Amino acid sequence: MGSTITEKILARAAGRDEVHAGDIIEAKVDLALANDITAPLAIAEFEKAGFTKVFDPARIALVPDHFTPNKDIKAAGQAKKMREFARRHEIVNYFEVGRVGIEHVLLPDTGMVAPGDLVVGADSHTCTYGAVAAFSTGMGSTDFAAAMAWGHVWLRVPESIRFVYSGRPGAWVTGKDLILHTIGLIGVDGALYQAMEFSGEAIRTLSMDERFTMCNMAIEAGGKNGIVGFDEKTTQYLQARPEGSRARTAGRVFASDDDAEYARVLEIDASAVPLTVSKPHLPSNAAAAADLADVTIDQVVIGSCTNGRIADLRQAAAILRGKKVHANVRAIILPGTQQVCLDAIADGTMQALIEAGCAFSTPTCGACLGGHMGVLAEGERAVATTNRNFVGRMGHPGAEVYLASPYVAAASALAGHIATPEDVGAGKGGPR
Amino acid sequence: MIFEGTVHKYGRDVDTDVIIPARYLTTNDPAELAKHCMEDIDAEFVSTVQPGDIIVAHENFGCGSSREHAPVAIKASGISVVIASSFARIFYRNAINTGLPIVVCPAAASEAQAGDRLRVDLGAGTVENLTQSKEYDAEAFPPFMQELIDRGGLLKYVKAQLVERSRS
Ligand code: SF4
């Protein structure tokens, strides 16, 4: 019996020849991360348990991205605990405001993740890094505290679901549409405890940015990790990381065997996937954007760890350039990193967005979790390129969030209601 | 351990954003967090919950964010045990790690009504609905998780591992 890519990575990390779904393993951690919400709790547990040393200061990343630049005094106190811990333990990868970005954009983009790595993070969207053929999964603060002390983690090897996307995605259809559509098919616990392996000819046509977006949302189907097999695009992406970084110098390439065992194989015709929007209050409430034109909106958020990469902002700018955001709409851009900001300046993306009437934020989670920088009032409605539309997610529990791609979010910002690029006169186009 | 309490009943996919909204995550003080537990799904919860009460929910309890503040808030609110048809993966780990007792028992979860009195025997693995006079067998923890619980939690387990390693 063959193995899946997920099983092979976990076998490597556990120092075994092979492991199979259901096995409980203790595996070596290549990178462990936490943010300004989850790290303070982990630090408290770490210290309460009497640990005095981290396993390796170079393999821990502390990323103050959620409530930073500090939104209030309490948040500042939490960020301070994390900063002091980072200094005390000489954590190499502590990113201060000004250098920080949204964790799941920042860490792969700075080359901290290599193929075949095992990454655990005290943040549910740690599953994002599967796009570089790594195994990465989210956990809680105590698990992170344990990983910091031990350098290992216990895991149950997940079964895998193989998603095979055939055909070419249609005009304006992106990885975001594919993943929203997929979660709509299987439900928010459709991949509970399982690996989501994305494959097929349509996946090969997606940019790395779109693959990150798809893996990012594996958790919204209950998945343990999302993963895409290695190909030329992965190589190109890794080669473009900073010199000397882990992405350039480390890693091992694994691929699923033809006779690997899957819990399920799901075939999806990508050419039939419409521009997709997930309605409140679950990511699985997928609907065609074209059917939601009567939904008027107050706010648009473009960015986050799901769609805050430069390709995402370019997509938004392609729709918004030379036009004006609707008078009733507040459009907020949450770029993933400072580098994304620089890239957006260099090619005029930022100028196009600002001229269209968008507010351009510093990199922060901000509005994505109803933290700051764009919290919704009671009864307000937003279209967001983020990943969750739960009750109260972006502010008041009486507010509503519709999840969409940057193209649909930008078109909606112009129209003042949910709209497709074609609705706002963009013709037939898209990322490919 | 045996718990007896009144049921607070919820549906499926109760996410950690409604268990403890992000706007309150600027602290990790359990008592502070407990003041806002379940606020966005059940505004009455905090004023009605009694020490020992039991949360019962359908599938996928605790989905969404990895915030460990969720089981911490539930525990600090006085809830003795959460019974659900299934739990989201990260919440499941977090509950074990923070010492919040959880029980997987689809039959008990679907039949219990708000206000019912339940008796949960963790050792025996049984759930008794005293109001409806029914008894159910809960799912046992996988052996490794039971070992973690028996050893006093993950961090104690890790400490023992490190001591072992430094000796060898
Ligand atoms: S951008 Fe949103 S989903 Fe991503 S890490 Fe930040 S809060 Fe979480």
Q: pLDDT tens-digit profile of A380-431?
A: 999 999 999 999 999 999 999 999 999 999 999 999 999 999 999 998 888 8
Contact between B27 and A73 (Cβ < 8 Å): no
CA distance A322 to chain B (A): 36
For chain B, which ranges sit under pLDDT 70?
A: none
Whole-Å CA distances, B44 to A181, B40, B54: 35, 10, 15
Q: Is residue A403 lining ligand 1, measured as CB closer than 6 Å? A: no
Q: In this complex, do B66 and A138 lie within 8 Å of one another by their Cβ atoms?
A: yes
Give the position of tokens 């046992």: B140
Give the C-alpha separation, B66 to A123, whole Å: 5
Chain B residues in contact with A375 by the CB 8 A cut-off are 23
- Is B103 in a helix, a strand, or coil? strand
Nearest C-alpha of chain A: how many angstroms from B87?
A: 9
pLDDT at A233 over 90: yes
Last residue of a domain, one of A208, A236, A269: A269
Find, in chain B, the residue whose alpha carbon is nearest to that of A51.
Answer: B159
**Whether residues A224 and A328 fall in one domain:** no
Contact (CB<8Å) A188/B21: no
Contact B63, B90 (CB under 8 A): no
- Hey, are the CB atoms on A140 and B94 less than 8 Å from each other? yes
A93 and A185: one domain? Answer: yes
The pLDDT value recorded for residue A30 is 98
How many interface pairs between A and B have CB atoms less than 8 angstroms apart?
Answer: 143
Which DSSP helix (H) or strand (E) runs through A108?
helix A103-109
User: What is the rounded distance in angstroms from the CA atom of residue B50 to the CA atom of residue B143?
Assistant: 32
A70: Cβ contacts below 8 Å, ≥ 6 apart: A76, A79
Whether A393 is in the pocket of ligand 1, judged by its Cβ within 6 Å, is: no
CB atoms under 10 Å from CB of A344, counted, come to 23
Q: Which of A269, A303, A318 is the last residue of a domain?
A: A269
B136 contacts B118 by C-beta, under 8 angstroms:
no
Q: Are B83 and B56 in contact (CB under 8 A)?
A: yes
Q: For residue range A105-144, what is the model confidence (pLDDT) as tens digits?
A: 999 999 999 999 999 999 999 999 999 999 999 999 999 9
Instruction: Check whether residue A24 and residue A167 sit in a common domain.
Output: yes
Cα B42 from Cα A241, distance rounded (Å): 47
pLDDT of residue B164: 87
A297 with A380, same domain: the answer is: yes
Distance A369 CA to ligand 1 centre (A): 7
All residues of chain A having their beta carbon less than 8 Å from the beta carbon of residue B161 are: 150, 152
Q: What is the ipTM of this complex?
A: 0.96
Residue A264 and residue A288 in one domain: no
At B165 the pLDDT is: 84
Q: Is the pLDDT of residue A85 over 80?
A: yes
Based on the fold, state whether residues A204 and A333 are members of the same structural domain.
no
Atom of ligand 1 nearest to the CA of A334: 1
Residues of B in CB contact (< 8 Å) with A are: 13, 15, 17-18, 21-23, 25-28, 39-41, 59-60, 63-69, 72, 86, 88-90, 93-94, 97-98, 142, 144, 148, 153-156, 158-159, 161-162
Kindly give the residue spans of alpha helices, DSSP state H, lying in A93-223. Answer: 103-109, 141-150, 175-186, 201-205, 208-216
Question: Which A positions 152-181 lie with beta carbon below 8 A of chain B?
Answer: 152, 154, 156
Q: From the list A50, A67, A370, which residue is nearest B26 (CB)?
A: A67
For A145-152, what is the mean pLDDT? 98
What DSSP assignment string belongs to B110-122?
HH--TT-EEEEET
Whole-angstrom CA distances from A366 to A174, A334, A390, A395 are 24, 8, 16, 11
Q: Residue A114 is part of which domain span?
A: 5-250+259-269
User: Nearest CA to CA, how far is A373 from chain B (Å)?
Assistant: 12
Domain count, chain A: 2
With the most atoms of ligand 1 within 8 angstroms of its CB, the residue from A125, A176, A387 to mutate is A125
Answer yes or no: is A132 within a domain.
yes
Phi and psi torsions of B104, nearest 5°: -95, 115
Residue with tokens 């492991």: A19
Q: Is residue A431 part of a domain?
A: no
Are A263 and A343 members of one domain? no
**Is residue A340 assigned to a domain?**
yes
- B120 φ, ψ to 5°? -115, 125
pTM of the model: 0.97
Statement to judge: residues A174 and A290 lie in one domain: no
Find residues 113-152 of chain A whose CB sits inside 8 Å of chain B. Answer: 121-124, 126, 138-143, 145-146, 149-150, 152
Residue B53, min C-alpha distance to chain A (Å)? 24
Residues A245 and A282 in one domain: no
Q: How far apart are the first and last CA of chain A?
A: 38
* CATH number, domain containing residue A117: 3.30.499.10
Residue A186 lies in a domain: yes
Q: List C-alpha distances in Å: B124 to A231, B121, B128, B140, B147.
A: 51, 5, 11, 9, 16
Give the pLDDT confidence score for residue A300 in this predicted structure.
98
Q: Show residues of chain B in contact with A40, CB under 8 Å.
A: 28
pLDDT value of residue B36? 98
Distance (Å, rounded) from C-alpha A196 to C-alpha A133? 12
Q: Is residue A229 part of a domain?
A: yes
Whether residue A96 sits in one domain with residue A237:
yes
CB of A369 closer than 6 angstroms to any ligand 1 atom: yes
Same domain, A206 and A307: no
Domain assignment present for residue A243? The answer is yes
Residue of chain A minimizing CA distance to B65: A124
Looking at A202, A236, A269, which one is the last position of a domain? A269
* Atom nearest to B22 CA in ligand 1: 7
Residue A122 lies in a domain: yes
Q: Within a 10 A sphere around the Cβ of A267, how many other Cβ atoms?
A: 10
Structure tokens at A23: 């096995």
Average pLDDT, chain A: 98
Inform me whether the pLDDT recorded for A174 exceeds 80.
yes
User: What is the per-residue pLDDT for A185?
Assistant: 98
A95 plus A27 within the same structural domain = yes
Write the CB contacts of A425 (distance below 8 Å, at least 6 apart in sequence): none
A376, two tokens: 């919704």
Q: What is the pLDDT of residue B62?
A: 98
Nearest chain B alpha carbon to A35: B67
| Mean pLDDT for the stretch of residues A179-187 | 98
For residue A52, with 0-12 CB atoms within 10 Å meaning exposed, 13-18 middle and 19 or more buried, which class applies? Answer: exposed
- Which residues from chain A sit within 8 angstroms of residue B15, using beta carbons? 388, 390-391
Locate the chain B residue with the closest alpha carbon to A393.
B17
Q: Looking at this protein, which amino acid is placed at residue B149?
A: I
Cα–Cα distances (Å) from A100 to A57, A163, A394, in that order, read 18, 34, 22
Predicted pLDDT at B151: 86
Closest CA to A108 of A86, A132, A92: A132
Cα nearest neighbour of B25 on chain A: A37
- Per-residue tokens: B161: 């591992």
Closest Cα in chain B, distance from residue A224 (Å): 7
Preceding omega of A69 cis (within 30 degrees of 0): yes
Decide if B144 and A24 are in contact by the 8 Å CB cutoff.
yes
Indicate the residue of A40, A66, A140 with minimum beta-carbon distance to B97.
A140
Query: What is residue B150's predicted lDDT score, i.e. its pLDDT?
Result: 87
Beta carbons of B26 and A122 less than 8 Å apart: no
- Asked, for residue A52, whether it belongs to a domain, the answer is yes
Map tokens 């930008």 to a residue.
A410
CB contact under 8 A, A192 and B23: no
